[in-house]
Amino acid sequence: MKTRQIIIIVLIIAVSASLFYFLSSLKEEPKQVKQIQATKYVKTASVDYTEVNTEIVAYGRVESTMPLDIISEVQGKMLPGSIRLKEGERFQKGQVLFRIDATEAYYKLQADRASFLKDVASVLPTFKIDFPDSFQQWQTFFEQINVAKALPKLPEVTSAKEKTFLATRNIFSNYYRIKSGEVNLSKYTYYAPFSGSITEVNLHTGSFVNPGGRIGKIIQANSLELNIALDPRDVQWVKRGTEVNIDTENGDQRWTGEVTRISDVLNKNTQSLDVYVHISPSKDFKVYDGMYLRATISGVKIKDAMTFPRNALVDDKMVYIVEDSILKVKDVKVHKITKETAIISGVEEGKDVVTEPLINAYEDMKVKKLDEEKDQSNNTVTNVKDKKKQNLSSI
């Protein structure tokens, strides 16, 4: 390469470098913008303690207080009663629900009474001679015996000798055997123990029934209760005799009730305790066995407490309070938690407690209350109005 070419290349490089530095000097340095930290506004409320009424809402099914399985104690052919033995059939107390053919048992009992009549007749001559003071009452007893009717009351025994004499003649054993037969005969006719309705029928007229055979099921329709399952933590707020408001899920039908029983046994499947609420009759709405209803129970009153949004709790045991625009964490006593609220205490009255859930919040964080922002906005608007008034007056 010639010397002249080398000199030209060097000159070009030098000129380019000079031009680059010159142009760089003309570029202004970027201004540093200060980062403005956004102020976080929080919703707060002043702590003010009052007496808080606890309330528990639960669901359950209606059940009869007197469901009864009809079991036959005797055997024989089933005969109709005074009503049809069908599901849904209503009956009144004392009506015959069904009968069992008692012909054989009836004649056997009559034969036993006739035999007993002969036994009493055989002891009367001895009473007349050996126990003259008791003869007349035994004579009257003998005359009152009717083989078609229940035996009259056994005369009173006045001496040990008389008692021994009657025992050796099997008077006592035969008498009570017949009385047992009379009780057994009454079991062939089943009378309704209360007014209600039939909910289940297993055997019908004409069927042969054995002792222990299940005929069906009846309920007392005018005495109903609501069986609800409560969390063991909520049971402490419920007492026997507590008034209960009962309604359907959509609220179009309402009843009143009263807590009558609280179970002491935890349900293994649901881990809950059963609470039974007696339902008072209503003229406007009828309640039926098996209905699914909602119960609102008025619980125990808590003194010196306040209702607080549950979602504003921190770890279900703390709250945020605002002191001099600084966020602080405070432990509280949680008396009761529901789905949406919590009843708390433990914060000094007058303190500002945060009533909304905070995201990415931390202790000693600088915040402002929403009411402060409103006050500032109101002051700004007032100042603008004042300035406008001044300008208008100067004109």
For the chain, domains (ranges, CATH) are: 44-49+303-372 (2.40.420), 58-63+224-302 (2.40.30.170), 66-101+188-219 (2.40.50.100), 104-186 (no CATH)
Q: 53-68 pLDDT, tens per residue?
A: 888 889 999 999 999 9
Interval 103-120 mean pLDDT: 94
Nearest Cα to Cα of residue 109 among 183, 169, 191, 187: 183
Per-residue pLDDT at 334 exceeds 70: yes
What are the structure tokens assigned to 242, written together?
């507590």
How confident is residue 81, by pLDDT bands cut at 50, 70 and 90? very high
Residue 39 DSSP symbol: P
Cα gap 325→330, rounded to integer Å: 15
Nearest Cα to Cα of residue 185 among 247, 100, 286: 100
* b/e 289-321 (16+ beta carbons within 10 angstroms → b): bebebbbebbbeebeebbbbbbebbbeeeebbb
Report whether 237 contacts 54 (CB < 8 A): yes
Q: What is the pLDDT of residue 269?
A: 84
Per-residue pLDDT at 380 exceeds 50: no
Per-residue pLDDT at 338 exceeds 70: yes
Cα gap 295→228, rounded to integer Å: 8
Q: What is the pLDDT of residue 32?
A: 58
Interval 30-37 mean pLDDT: 55
Interval 256-284 mean pLDDT: 90
CA 253 to chain centre: 18
Give the residue, 250 or 154, on which the prediction is more confident.
154
Q: 294-305 pLDDT, tens per residue?
A: 999 887 788 889
User: Across the strands, what pairs with 208?
Assistant: 77
Cα gap 54→205, rounded to integer Å: 55
Cα gap 354→376, rounded to integer Å: 20
Give the number of C-alpha atoms closer than 13 A to the C-alpha of residue 353, restricted to the C-beta side: 25
Cα–Cα–Cα angle for 314, 318, 320, nearest 5°?
Answer: 75
User: Across the strands, what pairs with 255?
Assistant: 246
Nearest Cα to Cα of residue 93 among 224, 222, 191: 191
Report whether 298 contacts 332 (CB < 8 A): no
Q: What is the dihedral of CA 255, 261, 264, 269, to 10 degrees?
A: -30
Q: What is the pLDDT of residue 116?
A: 95
What are the structure tokens assigned to 74, written together?
């005797």
Kindly give the pairing relationship between strand 40-42 and strand 367-369: parallel
State the alpha helices, DSSP H only, in the chain: 3-26, 103-130, 132-144, 160-168, 171-186, 232-235, 370-394
| All residues at 6 or more sequence positions from 296 whose CB lies less than 8 Å from its CB, including other chains | 55, 56, 57, 244, 245, 246, 247
Mean pLDDT, the chain, rounded, equals 85
Q: What is the pLDDT of residue 362?
A: 85
